[in-house]
Amino acid sequence: MEVVGPNTTGDPIVDGHEDLVYDSKLGFCYGESKRQAEGAVLRANGRKLHNGGSLVTCSLRPTYIFGEGSQFLQLHLDQALQNGGVFHRISKKEALANPVYVGNVAWAHVLAARATRDPEAATRISGNFYYICDDTPHMSYSDLNHVLGRELGLGVEARLPLPFPLLYFLASIMEMLSLLLRPIFRFVPPMTRHLLILLNTTFTFSYKKAQRDMGYKPRYTWEEARRLTSTWMAAVLPQRKEELRKK
């Protein structure tokens, strides 16, 4: 979804769709690199192949992916363990996202691949992009961490550590410091303006177009996704505790 935003001013999207016009002045290299890559893929649609056929391409834009093996979830889990079993509040409660379970993202890729091989379906998806999400309830990133870790006895902080404008100012200072130190020392800011806006902007989408064009329907329910992810978190918890204890 970072192909489209959030933009630098943090304009929200609620139940966005593929025809939505959005001022996607990204201003950040990460999202811009995704946009350029997607553009290359979609421009390749219809390219003639050596066997006489034509290349069929489409692009999938998953929302925030959670599930077993998630590096982000493991990072947040480690931080919670170091914070007395409480997840840090990294996003305002009202900044809603619609996370998507990794199994449903994988299923969407399978369906897209099948569609490219079916002449009728290929005509529908050819050169198009699709938002991929599921029926996970809309919530902030921090509250998703809490919901997934609640049964493990993990809590979440009630509010951001500082008011958002002050956090944005500090992120700007850290980015400037990183730039100044670059010739002699590699300083990676723990928070950037891009990440701060991403985590604190309501950004939700609909998967109706993917459902219509390629028959996409979430293969895993929210309850199944939550249970599978929480079970994985419970399995890695003792190991993470031991590794953190040794540091």
**What is the residue type of 122?**
A
Distances in whole angstroms, Cα of residue 34 to Cα of each of 29, 97, 105, 158: 9, 19, 17, 33
The answer to whether the beta carbons of residues 180 and 75 sit under 8 Å apart is no
Neighbours of 43 (CB within 10 A): 11
**Residue 38: how many other CB atoms lie within 10 Å:** 17
Catalytic pick among 30, 141, 207, 216 = 30
In sequence order, which residues have a C-beta less than 8 Å from that of residue 12 and are 6 or more positions away?
6, 201, 202, 203
Is 30 annotated as catalytic?
yes
d(CA 104, CA 139): 18
How far apart are the C-alpha atoms of 178 and 171, rounded to whole Å? 10
Q: Which residues are identified as catalytic?
A: 30
